[in-house]
């Protein structure tokens, strides 16, 4: 009798896992049927698949599972009821507004208390240097992998592109010079930085404020420190509340994307998309996994920790949406709050792993589409320019396209083919954002390990 009781939970888990895998297989079959022109059977297969996956999700309390279910339902809604799906986009916008409401006070409270309460004033400079070196090495590897992938794929050769329009050209945003970029790191008005959601400016102000607070005597800083600690705890609790909307926001975001573009449009530049995701897989296995092994970071627990924020970033195509949850999950993983609060927001400007792969691929794709054969030396020079230019567009919508359009003359590529990528930019942005979130979470764990500050007794994280 006891043995039967012990087997019951495992049997249920296997049953629901089989339901989920069957649902995913049927959904993919339904997508294939739809692409082959069998619309009705495709709808039936996808609907059954979503029902099976929903039955499996009921047994799990994981935000990632429910987010994935909402994403499948969103794709189905966009395919079958595009007019209604477009109207649901406001739910995603609402979720992003709530996230932006949280980010600034969360960063300010957590960074300040981390520095002032735990005596990390001397450590912060050392961590900053380590983080910047790490960021540059990893993003350079990303640029190289993207370049090699596009040279192998050749997805841009033979494409006929439309001429650039005046509207498209007028919409191009210009990059700042490197001097302006450095100046813009520091806020001239903290209220304005918060209002404009300038994450890095808020982070730098918080570091300076925390350093100043740490220099005061214990008696003078204790009252304010207590208030800020309560603020940080409150903002993390508010994050947990807002995250209940994450699956709904993810589903409606995908519903809007599919309804607006359609599956045929999504597949028009499928070779570039497939090449990009293959490059991300190579980057993950060839760069990120070895780093995890070298720094002795448990891979399974790390994947479990970053799964939910990565899924949110993938569905919403914005790193901001995943920032509060990513910080919370990495703190649960064992990274001290002061490292999490400094490294992850800084990485959002300097450690854009997915963006670096995308950026180099897009540049080579544009050159190929324009019929330009680039030598190895020209490609190296292009990568050097892009490595510097990409640091000036943190938080800019369609950042990769902005960098390419603004630096086209410097890297000797035409602007017209860049507009082609607009058709699949959302698909590319999903992978870009997901990898950016994962990369910055990993950076915080790596820096913590190098500082000897990563908790050895890692907490159990719900799958």
Question: Which range, of 110-119, 138-147, 249-258, 453-462, averages the lowest pLDDT?
Answer: 453-462
Q: Residue 259: which region, alpha, beta or left (left: phi > 0; alpha: psi -120 to 50)?
A: alpha
All structural domains of the chain with their residue ranges: 1-60, 89-450
Note the pLDDT tens digit of each residue in 102-146: 878 877 887 787 777 655 566 777 888 888 899 889 989 999 999
- From CA 199, how far away is CA 384, in angstroms rounded? 26
Does residue 14 have a pLDDT over 80?
no
Angle (nearest 5°) at CA 71 between 66 and 77: 125
Q: Residue 81: which region, alpha, beta or left (left: phi > 0; alpha: psi -120 to 50)?
A: beta
* DSSP label of 286: I
Mean pLDDT, to the nearest integer, of 55-62?
Answer: 70
Note the pLDDT tens digit of each residue in 434-447: 998 999 999 999 99
Q: Which residues contact 214 (CB under 8 A, 6 or more apart)?
A: 115, 116, 119, 121, 221
Choose among 220, 239, 227: nearest CA to 95. 239
Contact 319, 313 (CB under 8 A): yes
Angle (nearest 5°) at CA 345 between 113 and 324: 75
Q: Output the average pLDDT for the chain.
A: 77
Half-sphere exposure of 409 (CA within 13 A, CB side): 3
Determine whether domain 89-450 maps to CATH 1.10.3860.10.
yes
Higher pLDDT pick, 12 / 392: 12
- From CA 359, how far away is CA 342, in angstroms rounded? 25
Note the pLDDT tens digit of each residue in 409-427: 667 777 666 666 765 667 7
pLDDT computed for residue 172 by the predictor = 41
Half-sphere exposure of 139 (CA within 13 A, CB side): 27
- From CA 387, how far away is CA 378, in angstroms rounded? 14
Does residue 80 have a pLDDT over 90?
no
Does residue 155 have a pLDDT over 80?
no
Nearest 5°: phi and psi at 119?
Answer: 65, 40
Contact 161, 369 (CB under 8 A): yes
């Amino acid at each position: 009798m006891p043995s039967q009781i012990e087997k019951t939970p495992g049997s249920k888990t296997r049953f629901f896992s089989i339901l989920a895998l069957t649902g995913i297989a049927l959904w993919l079959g339904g997508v294939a049927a739809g692409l082959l022109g069998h619309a009705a059977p495709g709808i039936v297969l996808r609907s059954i698949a979503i029902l099976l996956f929903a039955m499996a999700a009921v047994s799990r309390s994981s935000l990632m599972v429910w987010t994935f279910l909402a994403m499948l339902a969103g794709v189905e809604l966009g395919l079958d009821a595009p007019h209604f799906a477009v109207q649901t986009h406001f739910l995603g916008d609402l979720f992003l507004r709530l996230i932006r409401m949280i980010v600034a006070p969360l960063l300010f409270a957590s960074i300040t208390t981390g520095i002032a309460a735990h005596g990390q004033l001397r450590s912060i400079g050392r961590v900053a240097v380590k983080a910047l070196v790490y960021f540059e090495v990893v993003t350079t590897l990303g640029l190289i992998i993207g370049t090699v992938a596009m040279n192998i794929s050749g997805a841009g050769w033979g494409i006929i592109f439309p001429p650039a329009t005046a509207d498209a050209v007028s919409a191009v945003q210009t990059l700042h010079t490197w001097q302006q970029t450095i100046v813009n790191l520091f806020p001239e008005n903290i209220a304005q930085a918060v209002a404009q959601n300038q994450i890095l400016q808020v982070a730098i102000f918080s570091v300076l404020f925390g350093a100043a607070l740490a220099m005061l005597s214990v008696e003078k800083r204790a009252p304010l420190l207590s208030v800020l600690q309560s603020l940080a705890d409150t903002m993390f609790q508010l994050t947990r509340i807002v995250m209940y909307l994450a699956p709904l926001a993810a589903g409606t975001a995908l519903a809007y994307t599919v309804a607006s573009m359609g599956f045929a449009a999504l597949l028009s530049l499928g070779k570039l998309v497939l090449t990009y995701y293959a490059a991300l897989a190579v980057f993950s296995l060839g760069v990120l996994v070895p780093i995890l092994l070298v720094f002795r970071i448990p891979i399974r627990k790390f994947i479990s920790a970053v799964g939910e924020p990565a899924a949110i970033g993938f569905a919403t195509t914005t790193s901001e949406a995943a920032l509060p949850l990513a910080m919370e999950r990495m703190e649960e993983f064992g990274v001290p709050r002061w490292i999490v609060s400094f490294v992850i927001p800084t990485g959002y400007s300097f450690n854009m792993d997915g963006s670096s792969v995308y950026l180099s691929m897009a540049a080579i794709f544009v050159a190929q589409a324009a019929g330009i054969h680039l030598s190895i030396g020209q490609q190296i020079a292009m990568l050097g320019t892009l490595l510097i230019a990409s640091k000036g567009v943190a938080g800019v919508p369609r950042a990769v396209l902005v960098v390419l359009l603004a630096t086209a003359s410097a890297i000797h590529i035409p602007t017209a083919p860049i507009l082609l990528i607009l058709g699949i930019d959302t698909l590319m942005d999903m992978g870009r954002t997901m990898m950016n979130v994962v990369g910055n979470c990993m950076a915080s764990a790596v820096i913590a390990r190098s500082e000897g500050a990563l908790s050895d007794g890692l907490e159990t994280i719900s799958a």
